[in-house]
Amino acid sequence: MTLHIDIPEETFGSILAKAFRNRSFLIGFAITVLVVAMALVSYVWTPYDVTKLVISDKTLAPSSAHWFGTDHFGRDILSMIMVGARNSIAVALVAVGIGMGVGVPLGTFAAARGGFVDEALMRLNDLVFAFPALLSAIMITAIFGPGAINAIIAIGIFNIPVFARVARAGALAIWPREFILAARAAGKSKTQISIQHVLPNIATLLLVQGTIQFALGILAEAGLSYVGLGAQPPMPSWGRMLFDAQTRMVVAPWMAIFPGMAIVITVLGLNLLGDGIADILDPKSRRQR
Amino acid sequence: MTAYLLKRLAIAIATLILASMVVFAVLEILPGDPARLMLGLNASAEQVELLRNQMGLNAPLVLRYLHWVGGLLSLDFGRSYTYSVPVIDLVRERMAVSLPLALIALALSTIIAIPVGLYSASRRGRAGDTIAMGAAQLGVAVPNFWFALMLIYLFAVWLRLVPAGGFPGWGAGVWPALKSLLLPAVALALPQAAILARVARSALIEVLNEDYIRTARAKGLPYRAVLWRHALRNAMIPVLTILGLQFAFLLAGTIIIENVFYLPGLGRLVFQAITQRDLVVVESIVMLLVVAVIAVNLVVDVSYAIVDPRLRGRQ
């Protein structure tokens, strides 16, 4: 696949106008802002205190007092979802940061050098891809102990080859272009060219991949927390809430329904946002997933 | 062609060797002494030392690695510390649950995704396409274990059509066994089907814009025939790639799903083995999954090269 990513001649205003016409972008952006706002608000206010256990209020069905009901300790589910959003966002965000921080330099370096370096780096990528990510994440958290930090590392490691691959593919398409030739003729080093010319031109690709990995990170974190290897109680996390709900499906199905919907809506929002950004900034790029 | 095959095979083997080193190294640094675990806290230091020698845990690293790899090659995976039976027996027993589960899920996901992709691609931009792709967008966002919980609630708790979990074993008859695999398979398959449907749609749309499709239409072939005979066949390459990746993903996905449904499969075994520090079992299953992933990718790559000679030179 060849990618032609032209340096946009469009102004910021015209991009903004396009963004307002793009349905995916608008819905995705609205959902993402809502989830982030929810997480931020939880620092200063939640409907109920999530650290206080009110046993007399346990497994109450949704009502006007508790919109999403209460859990087996009498904690308000809505409040827990709000606080849990922090954990999901933090884990996914840092994991994307790790993936980009290591993967992008590796990928652009491989593309710039070519030859043996490129081959070796890409084979290393294949190696990481050969391990089913979830299984390896479980192994990593099992070795270093469960917890949010280790979950971040486990998910982050698997983001590295993804970003390396995307950065390399993007960079390879940029290198044969005329303006790169001009920069080389001007005597710039490969590193300078990579940073000054290649990176800005693959930023869109990376941004789109970033939102996808962010969404996948939230799913992965939920999975790890669900099997007890992610965030530890009493820190509320969406996956952990689902684990607690599992044995109480008959008496308190709302304990499972609402945290799950929080995950679905957040991931959906991020995916729509990614689609939207891809459409707006680069209509010709077709996302591969 | 032969050169390509050899190169591809060499890469696969090199990846395998590296992967085996990684697995071995990771489990070397895993804390916990298996000999101590087997004997319990009351055992004396001498007893532990004796058992460590018997188990070969005191041999040099390289020797232990070679011994382990040699064992893997001859299907002798060693003995499980916790179950005290050969790992290969455990794996074989658990495979009887996980492999059918993954295969049923793969089949379900294909059966759902391909017609949806075809439908969407042939009605591109119309209401049907928008609804189908909206549903797929939603499906991609659903965590399979949550979907599994919802399925349990709906079909096992409410409607009481299927058991909520557990596995009667194939000895109890094919139908009861299949019945208990049905919900887990659906839970695994649906999110995968959503991804596959999207890939199938975009691959089909790309193919439908090709000149030979116009030629086929121009010579008077009905649209349906063009779609099935010409478009679908040519769109299969990206679809097959995703299918190959998904098989590995499904095998790994069984880890969580088997825990949701209390199925005695490979996933549950590996999870228990990790928490019980049963290294031999963990090593063997991880390697088995890695071999499966590499083998499937190799087969997919090679089959492309056979189907489409243009792909041989490309990375």
Alpha-carbon span B140 to A171, nearest angstrom: 28
Residue of A nearest to B145 (CA): A223
Q: Span B216-242, mean pLDDT?
A: 80
The answer to whether B242 touches B236, Cβ cutoff 8 Å, is: no
In this prediction, residue B34 carries a pLDDT of 66
Do B19 and A131 lie within an 8 Å CB cutoff? yes
Which of B93, B87, B61 is closest to B74 using CA atoms?
A: B87
On chain A, the residues whose CB falls within 8 A of the CB of B265 are none
Three-class SS state of B88: helix
Inter-chain residue contact B286 with A131, CB threshold 8 Å: yes
Give the span between the Cα atoms of B155 and B162, in whole angstroms.
Answer: 6
The per-residue pLDDT for A289 is 34
Give residue limits of the domains in chain B: 2-73, 87-311
Q: Which residue has the higher pLDDT, B152 or B4?
A: B152
Token couple for B29? 């640094």
pLDDT, residue A106, reads 92
Q: How many whole angstroms from its chain centre is CA A143?
A: 24
Mean predicted confidence (pLDDT) in B23-35: 73
Please return the burial class of A269, using the count of CB atoms within 10 Å of its CB with bins 0-12, 13-18 and 19+.
buried
Sort out which chain A residues have CB atoms less than 8 A from B297's CB and list them: 130
pLDDT attached to residue B150: 92
Q: Residue B240, SS3?
A: helix
pLDDT for res B313: 54
* Alpha carbons B58 and A53: distance in angstroms, whole number: 50
254-293 of B, contacting A, C-beta below 8 A: 255-256, 259-260, 270-271, 274-275, 282, 286, 289-290, 293
Partner A contacted by B157 (CB < 8 A)? yes
**Is B15 part of the contact surface with chain A (CB cutoff 8 Å)?**
yes
pLDDT digits (tens, 9 = 90+) for B180-206: 888 999 999 988 899 899 888 888 888
Interface TM-score (ipTM) > 0.90: no
- Taking the C-alpha atoms of residue B117 and residue B193, their distance in angstroms, rounded to an integer, is 10
Q: What is the structure's pLDDT at A53?
A: 82
Measure the CA angle with vertex B200, ends B132 and B302; round to 5°. 160
Q: How far apart are CA B3 and CA B221, in angstroms?
A: 40
Q: In chain B, which residues have their Cβ closer than 8 Å to the Cβ of A253?
A: 153, 157
Would you state the pLDDT for residue B148? 92
Q: Quick: pLDDT tens for A245-278.
A: 888 888 888 999 999 999 999 999 999 999 888 8
Contacts of residue B162, defined as CB under 8 A and 6 or more positions apart, other chains included, come to: B155, B156, B179, B180, B182, B183
The tokens of A198 are what? 């290649």
Lowest-confidence range among A241-250, B26-35, B107-116?
B26-35
Could you say which residues of chain A have pLDDT below 70? 1-10, 282-289
- CATH number of this structure's domain B87-311, picked from the four choices 3.40.50.2300, 1.10.3720.10, 3.20.20.70, 1.10.10.1800: 1.10.3720.10
Decide: helix, strand or coil at residue A59.
coil
Q: Cα dihedral angle (A43, A45, A46, A49), rounded to 10 degrees?
A: 80
CB-based contact, A289 to chain B, within 8 Å: yes
**Angstrom distance (rounded) from CA B278 to CA B84:** 10
Residue A133 contacts B where some CB pair is shorter than 8 Å: yes
Give me chain B's average pLDDT, please.
Answer: 83
pLDDT in tens, B65-111: 888 888 888 888 877 877 888 888 888 888 888 888 988 999 999 99
Query: Is the Cβ pair A264, B141 closer than 8 Å?
Result: yes
Residue B219: the pLDDT is 85
CB A151 within 8 A of CB A221: yes
Considering only CB atoms, A226 lies closest to which of B26, B145, B253, namely: B145
Please report the pLDDT score of residue B206 as a whole number: 84
Q: Does B14 touch chain A (CB under 8 A)?
A: yes
Closest to A205 (Cα-Cα) out of A175, A162, A266: A162
Res. B32 pLDDT band, cuts 50 70 90: low
Question: Mean pLDDT throughout B115-120?
Answer: 91
Q: Which two tokens stand for residue B296?
A: 């499937």
pLDDT in tens, B159-173: 888 777 778 878 778
Cβ neighbours of residue A7 closer than 8 Å, sequence gap 6 or more = A200, A201
Q: What is the C-alpha end-to-end distance of chain A, expressed in Å?
A: 14
Predicted TM-score (pTM) of this structure: 0.85
**Element holding A32 (H helix, E strand):** helix A23-44
Q: Which residue do the tokens 């079992």 mark?
A: B281
